[in-house]
A and B are shown apart, each in its own frame.
Chain A
């Protein structure tokens, strides 16, 4: 439970951070530090947690664990548990975090806006919550999420440092997310194989039931993925370059994240999974080698730096390398050594980082070459630095000596103490791992010793170069500051120096409580190596051992470099590699970006052609060989019998001719005629397939669509563009492959089974359930009513979308003058005087439009009532015979269409706002009846049945009525806003498209709304409609809520 309280308190701190920052500014660090300390106190009961999970008693583990179901369907729990490993890392995070927060209250400049502090403190607390969550997670998913959260928080803390930090922060994010991906793969593989995400089960050798022993290849794969994740996070070679990059963050961030916390997350992960992999040969060898190489590379690069902070970053890299190598040994001594060095490093390195901030504040530079003799100006800081650097160098009797000595011991004994998987049990299953050659231990020791020589050398460089030697390139201002004569405001305060000293002094104090460390580290190491009882014994004096001799040699050589420092350091600082890790990441990123946009370019066009081409070709590439292979392999069941009718063949021939007509016609009118021929033929085909409702719908839709096409064509040239050969050839190839693919797919993948079970069920029971005979209609309005509701919303939204899109287009794009498709070609839109037509009657009959419409008008007087009645009948009988809301509405729309066509010029049908009201009303009606039904039946859309005047009626008829209204609305809107053209607007009483569209929203208006900002005046309307349509086109911003 205490772990839950710890996390809860941290979360409260996170939530309160904005308030703290608003009230206290930079001093928000104080209450937050208190929160951290409080959280640490709350955590203390969990320290009593005995051994690793599974070994303690039931009651004990219950006291230290906390869990609630999170995604029960997948068995994922939000569960946390305290064990000795998590205790070590939790306390490091909380205690060092508290010190760094206190330090920040003085490090940050006063008087900045609260947001500047907020982004820092929020990032820090978010990081701490996720770090504590990570180390205490008892579920793989939670572990992974917290892992990624620490990456994100780290990224945010770097990126907040301004423009110069953007690129480094992005590189950091990329590298750490690369490891995150590896971890994700590992997590998923383990979760699938183990059938649980419970970490304590997975890592418990008994409970996991041979998860890690049965399949060595699986174990090795997971081990490599985990190692990869940890190596990116803990900045191991070759992923180390993000850490120096991250120095773009401000010093408190580096002191916390890059010394104590985020880089230790990788160490934690290695320790957490050591129970599973410590006896895996590849894991062990990989970690030891990677760790030692990292230690060498980091040490060497550190020595090359003259920026103190970069130097410190590389030194962190090298120390992390030593820790990883120690974990890699997989022995009790190695794990214990890694733990003690982790603790020691967190203490002295965070202190050293904070020291850089102090120096930076005092001198205004972090460049060793410019630093004056600081030991006189900053005696306190100097003393602390000597202690910290001494600890890092491993000078006895500081804590670094103890921890480094243990690492030497562990590495030296690597070959003899390491036990291969199954080795203890003598199993032959994993005997391939074998044992290590005897020289491995001493070689590893030599590597670590060489790394330590470099460590001593750069520690000496920090102390001597920074505090002792005079500046190599003196800056007068800095000299003056160092003498304490000027710039007193920059003199570091007691709090700043105190916070810096605290962790380092704590590392000194730890020397006096070494037995306490024995217990803690022993417990943690036992947790990392189940089955072993680790009792490390850290002391300063072991007697004369190989390790002690190594240490003496290391110190001698390392400090010896001081003698030649005046030549060595500048020479090293000059020799830089021709390439940098950051540069490599950049070029990898830009190569990938180029690749991505290359792929993107295949489809990212405004024109539909290339989108379609890519989709079609991919489809054909899969389907054509797929179906042919299936067929060749005899895997296809035989086609059902009786599939073909003679009419199918006739229709195929006619359809092919018409489709060819659509495809080849250059005349737009010709293409339209051919298209409607296709529509009619498809309708006949549908009838012959036994789908009368579908056929009726198809026929009506076809006729309405043709009317809309004609409205649109009047605004366009009479012919299509000429198709050039360079377009025609690839287009034909793509088209043929598409036809081949779909044809083969239909032939190969359909009609090779019996009628579907669902279909049979509906046929047999539909009538009993609904009382309707027309099964297709009852499917639409009852069984799949929700789908139909969606469909009707699509219809309605199409109407609204057309009006909305047109209202945002500028006038000159709305009714543009026709441009001939080919230059010089007359599109025939301008009517010349014409030939001599003789009598005025003849002229009128030919040139005046009203003469052509009178017949239709006469006919409509008869037809319209009939159509209205037909529409009503279709509507009413829909449940039992072909018909229903859609079909009835389409007949009703035909009425609208005929009315529109019968006028001699473009006229608006119905009141201007009727379409939108119809659409809205239809949707509301359909939704409402669904709710009413739910009130009665408990199921949304389940209709009620009853009898009215002897007729069977159901509430689905009201639903159908909603469909009816929406369809009519859409068709009216399409006619009204698409029927106008530049020619019609010029006529007496004619309206432009703009006017029509605006009226669709606002109701009748006298003049069209102005287009240009100068003319724009607020449109006044008697009816208050909030979202007015002219704002975008006129440039007059709308009134908005609030201030």
Chain B
């Protein structure tokens, strides 16, 4: 029974579950945390691909090639960690633009531009006003966001 157990697989699964859960939330910061968890789990997955039966550090003055862990996944993961840091910082910068890190009400074009400058802004504003009465409705704010993009 214990032969077919692989604890690291469970760890990866647990981290992914929490990460995807967070990614399904509305707050941008939660989504970023979710991606952080997912990259942790991806890193462990990569390391697992090096077969964790061998766990000696690949420093060749202290171990032998037969015992050392596979160094290639480690190099991959090292790269991945640093890149994940870069993307996390970029996403954090994006999270503070606009209001309340809400992923589902991005600033629309009409938010960004003075209507006077755009003669065609008026028709765009029309459907918006219908939704303004129910700002909490996700679908409404979603369609607003998309409209803004469409007419950009």
Q: A656: CB under 8 A from chain B?
A: yes
Contact yes or no, B25 A639, CB < 8 A: no
Q: B110: CB under 8 A from chain A?
A: no
In the complex, which range does the number of interface residues on chain B fall in?
Answer: 35 or more
17 additional A-B pairs beyond A734-B21, A739-B17, A742-B13, beta carbons within 8 Å, are A609-B26, A640-B51, A641-B53, A686-B43, A690-B68, A694-B43, A694-B47, A721-B25, A743-B9, A779-B75, A791-B83, A798-B90, A806-B97, A814-B97, A816-B98, A967-B82, A978-B92
Give Cα distance in the complex from A50 to B17, angstroms.
73
Give Cα distance in the complex from A819 to B33, angstroms.
21
Q: B1: CB under 8 A from chain A?
A: no
Contacts of B79 in A (CB 8 A): 780, 787-788, 791
Give Cα distance in the complex from A821 to B136, angstroms.
11
Give Cα distance in the complex from A709 to B92, angstroms.
7
Contact yes or no, A697 B82, CB < 8 A: yes
Given A739-B14, A798-B86, verify A648-B103 contact (CB < 8 Å). Answer: no
CB distance from A990 to the nearest CB of B (A): 17
**In-complex Cβ contact of B104 among A606, A660, A685, A805 (8 A):** A606
Contact yes or no, A735 B20, CB < 8 A: yes
A719: nearest residue on chain B (CB-CB)?
B27
Contact yes or no, B47 A689, CB < 8 A: yes
A803: nearest residue on chain B (CB-CB)?
B93
**In-complex Cβ contact of B68 among A656, A694, A763, A818 (8 A):** A763
Give Cα distance in the complex from A250 to B74, angstroms.
66
Contact yes or no, A762 B6, CB < 8 A: no
Contacts of B47 in A (CB 8 A): 686, 689, 691, 694
CB distance from A965 to the nearest CB of B (A): 14
Contact yes or no, A708 B92, CB < 8 A: yes
* Residue picked from B24, B41, B98, B102, most chain A C-beta under 10 Å: B24
Give Cα distance in the complex from A880 to B73, angstroms.
18
Contact yes or no, A773 B86, CB < 8 A: no
Which residues of A come within 8 Å of B, CB atoms?
Answer: 604-609, 612-613, 616, 638-645, 648-649, 651-652, 655-656, 659-660, 662-663, 668, 671-672, 675, 678-679, 682, 685-686, 688-694, 697-698, 701, 704-705, 708-709, 711-713, 715-717, 720-721, 723, 727, 730-732, 734-736, 738-747, 750-751, 753-756, 758-760, 762-764, 766-767, 773-776, 779-780, 784, 787-788, 791, 794-795, 798, 801-802, 805-806, 809-810, 813-814, 816, 818-819, 821, 880-882, 886, 967, 970, 974, 977-978
Contacts of B142 in A (CB 8 A): 605-607
Given A739-B16, A743-B12, A750-B51, verify A813-B97 contact (CB < 8 Å). Answer: yes
Contact yes or no, B37 A659, CB < 8 A: yes
Give Cα distance in the complex from A970 to B9, angstroms.
34
* Residue picked from B6, B30, B31, B58, most chain A C-beta under 10 Å: B58
Contact yes or no, B74 A738, CB < 8 A: no
Contact yes or no, A698 B18, CB < 8 A: no
Contacts of B44 in A (CB 8 A): 682, 685-686
CB distance from B80 to the nearest CB of A (A): 9
- Cβ contacts B83-103/A at 8 Å (1 or 0 each): 111111110111111111111
- What are 10 A-B contacts defined by CB distance under 8 Å? A607-B142, A609-B24, A639-B6, A644-B6, A675-B33, A685-B8, A685-B44, A712-B29, A735-B19, A977-B93
Contact yes or no, B53 A758, CB < 8 A: no
Give Cα distance in the complex from A697 to B86, angstroms.
13
Contact yes or no, B99 A805, CB < 8 A: no
Which residues of B come within 8 Å of A, CB atoms?
Answer: 2-27, 29-31, 33, 36-37, 40-41, 43-45, 47-61, 65, 68-75, 77-79, 81-90, 92-104, 106-107, 112, 142, 145-146, 149
* Residue picked from A692, A717, A759, most chain B C-beta under 10 Å: A759
Give Cα distance in the complex from A668 to B98, angstroms.
18
Contact yes or no, A721 B26, CB < 8 A: yes
Contacts of B96 in A (CB 8 A): 712, 715-716, 978
**In-complex Cβ contact of B45 among A604, A612, A613, A746 (8 A):** A746
State the 3 A-B residue pairs at the shortest beta-carbon distance, nearest first: A743-B13, A739-B17, A731-B24
Contacts of B50 in A (CB 8 A): 755-756, 759
Give Cα distance in the complex from A816 to B101, angstroms.
11
Contact yes or no, A776 B75, CB < 8 A: yes
Contact count A vs B, C-beta below 8 Å: 342
Contact yes or no, A780 B75, CB < 8 A: yes
Contact yes or no, B82 A607, CB < 8 A: no
Contacts of B23 in A (CB 8 A): 608-609, 612
A642: nearest residue on chain B (CB-CB)?
B53
Contact yes or no, A880 B78, CB < 8 A: no
Contact yes or no, A612 B20, CB < 8 A: yes
Contact yes or no, A659 B6, CB < 8 A: no
Contacts of A644 in B (CB 8 A): 2, 5-8
Contact yes or no, B103 A679, CB < 8 A: no
A711: nearest residue on chain B (CB-CB)?
B92
Contact yes or no, B48 A750, CB < 8 A: yes
Given A659-B37, A690-B54, verify A608-B12 contact (CB < 8 Å). Answer: no
Contact yes or no, A716 B24, CB < 8 A: no
Contacts of A721 in B (CB 8 A): 25-27, 102
Contact yes or no, A802 B93, CB < 8 A: yes
**In-complex Cβ contact of B12 among A639, A649, A742, A806 (8 A):** A742
Given A639-B3, A689-B69, verify A606-B106 contact (CB < 8 Å). Answer: yes
**In-complex Cβ contact of A738 among B2, B17, B85, B98 (8 A):** B17
A714: nearest residue on chain B (CB-CB)?
B96
Give Cα distance in the complex from A645 to B5, angstroms.
11
Contact yes or no, B5 A607, CB < 8 A: no
B85: nearest residue on chain A (CB-CB)?
A701
Contact yes or no, B21 A732, CB < 8 A: yes
Contacts of B100 in A (CB 8 A): 716-717, 818-819, 821
Contact yes or no, B82 A746, CB < 8 A: no
Given A640-B51, A662-B18, A978-B96, verify A690-B58 contact (CB < 8 Å). Answer: yes
Give Cα distance in the complex from A806 to B6, angstroms.
45
**In-complex Cβ contact of A643 among B31, B53, B68, B72 (8 A):** B53
Contact yes or no, A740 B13, CB < 8 A: yes
Contacts of B59 in A (CB 8 A): 692, 773-775, 880-882
Contact yes or no, A640 B18, CB < 8 A: no
Give Cα distance in the complex from A19 to B47, angstroms.
63
CB distance from A830 to the nearest CB of B (A): 17
Contacts of A613 in B (CB 8 A): 24
